[in-house]
A = this chain, B = another copy of it.
Amino acid sequence: MAENLLSRMRQEAKEIFKASVRRVDPYEAVKNFVRLEKEVLSVGPANRDGIELNLERFERILVVGGGKATAPMAKALEDVLGSRVERGLINVKYGFSEPLSRIEVQEAGHPLPDDKGVAATKKILSLLDGAKEKDLVFSLISGGGSALLPSPAGGITLAEKQAVTKSLLDCGASIDEMNTIRKHISSSKGGQMARVAFPATTINLMLSDVVGDRMDVIASGPFVPDSGTFKDAWEIMRKYDLSVPEPVSAYVKMGLDGKAPETPKDSDPLFHKVHNFIIGSNILALKAAGNAAEAMGYTCLILSSMVEGETREVARVHTSVAKEILQTGLPLAPPACIISGGETTVTIRGKGFGGRNQEFCLAASIELAGTAERIVVLSGGTDGNDGPTPAAGAIVDSRTAARGSTLGLQALEFLKNNDSYHFFEKTGDLLITGPTKTNVMDVRLVLVR
């Protein structure tokens, strides 16, 4: 009986996860966001907060972009706009291209940028530079876009740029500090592509893979106003006594002296021509999960799309909510579904094989051992890839740890060794989806019936 209930709940969890990933499918997201009726282009979520453009105003439509998910995004744009697309170029990771009719696809290095990426970004900048007042530019941006649109400024080489990134990581600089420096040794990041595209009208469609969905952070915001300055960059370099290659400090000094262009700020009128939209994000995936779970009779609570922290500890907070639901019906009475997203971290202490989603589930399974058999926990990467493993994550329940014990596997030992994959491979609790072509970080589900 309990076995039946758990297996039904595990199936439900899988379906809810699928629904959340479907919501952020890059092709579907563009298709739903960009609609053409006669010559009127509507851009925005169905029926609200969008813009309308009469295509008769424009002579050409150009498409640029970069990121792992931009090939299906570009395909959707071609399907909507057809031959109205004049030409375009997008950069994707090796192996992530798809056949397109009018938009060129360039494969390049990710997560480490390479010369292919530099060359293609140069071509993108030149395409944008040629855009006129009567042109409409579509930009397609997704996770990985920063590495796939490399454009070191001045005479800086890729290797020198990477040396800076390494120094910043080593000195413990914050993400914001790193971004400030990176944007000020690049000729495309921090809104600089928007400046190059001016005076054309630009529509920038972003699939967000960053916690909090800050547009200036997604792919380092090539079309988004920057708030940092060369002065900030210089001060960060001084604060950490950063050792950087000579061309890097030379370029930042040029910026200080007004001899290199500052990133455009929010007040710059050029942004009147830019329309930035997030078309897919973690919170949208979570909301879709909530809708799917409600259709199955669950009451839902979306905790946060911004969950960060050490994975196993975050898992314990989630199971503590599940236990409270069972014991007192708070914060929700069962059947209840707690949903969270974001991206946690794993401090590697062992030598095992796994990913943060599987580790989350392994830690959860330990906490669930011995509780009533009415709880199921799923954690999955929306890209279908959890760490270096072939799984997207795992699905566990109150019996998982015991199932492991029966097989001679102690969950706690596998957790200590960061070896979640090998535990779940044997217990049969892996969540396997294959690559989904999208990435809006992770989705976690806690079902209680």
Q: How far is it, in angstroms, between the C-alpha of A310 and the C-alpha of B331 when the chains are bound?
A: 22
B283, A323: Cβ atoms under 8 Å? Answer: no
Q: Give chain B nearest CB distance to A356 CB in angstroms.
A: 13
Residue in B283, B302, B307, B328 whose CB lies within 8 Å of A317:
B307
Residues of B within 8 A of A306 (CB): 320, 323-324, 327
Q: Is A434 an interface residue, CB under 8 A from the partner?
A: no
Nearest residue, chain B, Cβ from A370? B176
Q: Give chain B nearest CB distance to A300 CB in angstroms.
A: 9
Residue in B212, B304, B310 whose CB lies within 8 Å of A313:
B310
Number of copies: 2
Q: Is A5 an interface residue, CB under 8 A from the partner?
A: no
Q: Is A330 an interface residue, CB under 8 A from the partner?
A: yes
Give the interface centre of A213, A301, A313, A321 by most chain B CB atoms within 10 Å. A313
Residues of B within 8 A of A310 (CB): 310, 313
Q: How far is it, in angstroms, between the C-alpha of A327 and the C-alpha of B303 when the chains are bound?
A: 12
Q: How far is it, in angstroms, between the C-alpha of A323 and the C-alpha of B301 when the chains are bound?
A: 15
A302, B320: Cβ atoms under 8 Å? Answer: no
Nearest residue, chain B, Cβ from A301? B331
Q: How far is it, in angstroms, between the C-alpha of A302 and the C-alpha of B338 when the chains are bound?
A: 13
Q: Give chain B nearest CB distance to A175 CB in angstroms.
A: 11
Residues of B within 8 A of A283 (CB): 324, 327-328, 330
Q: Is A257 an interface residue, CB under 8 A from the partner?
A: no
B320, A317: Cβ atoms under 8 Å? Answer: no
Q: How far is it, in angstroms, between the C-alpha of A309 and the C-alpha of B314 when the chains are bound?
A: 8
A316-B324 contact given A303-B331, A330-B283, A331-B301, CB 8 Å threshold? no
Residues of B within 8 A of A212 (CB): 323, 327
Q: Is A335 an interface residue, CB under 8 A from the partner?
A: no
Q: Is A235 an interface residue, CB under 8 A from the partner?
A: no
Nearest residue, chain B, Cβ from A211? B320
Q: Is A342 an interface residue, CB under 8 A from the partner?
A: yes
A sample of 14 cross-chain residue pairs with beta-carbon separation below 8 angstroms, ordered by A number, consists of A283-B327, A283-B328, A283-B330, A301-B331, A302-B330, A303-B317, A304-B323, A307-B320, A308-B316, A309-B313, A309-B316, A309-B317, A310-B313, A313-B314
Query: Beyond the given A301-B301, A304-B321, A308-B316, could you list 18 further A-B residue pairs with CB under 8 A, ordered by the A residue number?
Result: A213-B327, A283-B324, A283-B330, A301-B331, A303-B317, A303-B320, A303-B324, A304-B323, A304-B324, A305-B324, A306-B323, A307-B316, A307-B320, A308-B320, A309-B313, A309-B316, A309-B320, A320-B342
